[in-house]
Amino acid sequence: MDPLMLLTAAISLINLAILTVLLFVYVRIYKSSKAVFTLGLIFFSIMMVSQNVIAVYAYFAMAPLYSPELYPYILGIHITELVGLAVLLKITWS
């Protein structure tokens, strides 16, 4: 497997870890507040986890189908997601 795709998969796994932490925090907040907005955040987190699981699986299962010219763009998408999730986690944790 190409090193860029391995890096992309690794970043997706980091995104999964951040999303899991966010999901637990949102569930904890919902248990104490019962705020409907928090349910939306829980749903959002679950959908993002699903997207990342599918992406990591696709990178390994369908690697030969990806054109190498796409690798930097796919990596950029996941790095952008990582930055956004890291900021969201920092704001949520504060």
Domain edges within the chain: 3-93
pLDDT digit string, tens, across residues 11-35: 999 999 999 999 999 999 999 999 9
User: In the predicted model, is pLDDT for residue 74 greater than 90?
Assistant: yes
- pLDDT for position 71: 92
In this prediction, residue 63 has a pLDDT band, given cuts at 50, 70 and 90, of confident
3-state class (DSSP) for residue 1: coil
Count other Cβ atoms within 10 Å, centred on residue 48. 18
pTM, full prediction: 0.89
Question: 26 is written with which tokens?
Answer: 């949102």
- pLDDT for position 75: 95
User: In the predicted model, is pLDDT for residue 2 greater than 90?
Assistant: no
